[in-house]
């Protein structure tokens, strides 16, 4: 007998851990290569990730919770804590969540979230 979990924090942990692992691995790699617009590439991937999960799960404030978890995991890097990426991750999650709350899960909401992020 399988127990079904419907906890939004568990779902946010899944999204946040995938998002944070990509930010840590590829973000460190791209910034060490000193490529221009590395942050833009990371933002693009995170928006694709959030849009994909928005079709799967429809929980309230899920993406804000995922952004908090991502920022917390990102802050545990063995290097120094840099506030720029943490603020960027949280801002992106807040913008995405606001666009979803105002316009629903529509193409317009995703477009607005992408442009503002």
Half-sphere exposure of 5 (CA within 13 A, CB side): 6
Q: Write the pLDDT tens digit of every residue in 24-35.
A: 888 888 888 888
Which whole number is the average pLDDT over 2-31? 86
pLDDT band at 39 (very low <50, low <70, confident <90, very high): confident
pTM to 2 decimals?
Answer: 0.85
Stretch 102-116: mean pLDDT: 89
Does 1 have pLDDT greater than 60? no
Output DSSP code: residue 106.
S
CA distance 104 to 37: 30
The answer on pLDDT for 5 being more than 90 is: no
């Amino acid at each position: 007998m399988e127990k079904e979990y419907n906890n939004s924090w568990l779902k946010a942990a899944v999204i946040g851990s995938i998002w944070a692992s990509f930010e840590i691995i590829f973000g460190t790699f791209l910034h060490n290569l000193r490529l221009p617009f590395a942050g833009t590439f990371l933002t693009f991937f995170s928006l694709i990730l959030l849009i994909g999960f928005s079709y799967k799960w429809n929980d309230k404030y899920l993406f804000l919770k995922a952004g908090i978890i991502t920022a917390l995991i990102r802050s545990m890097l063995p290097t120094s804590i840099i506030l720029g990426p943490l603020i960027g991750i949280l801002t992106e999650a807040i913008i995405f969540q606001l666009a979803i709350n105002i316009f629903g899960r529509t193409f317009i909401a995703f477009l607005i979230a992408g442009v503002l992020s």
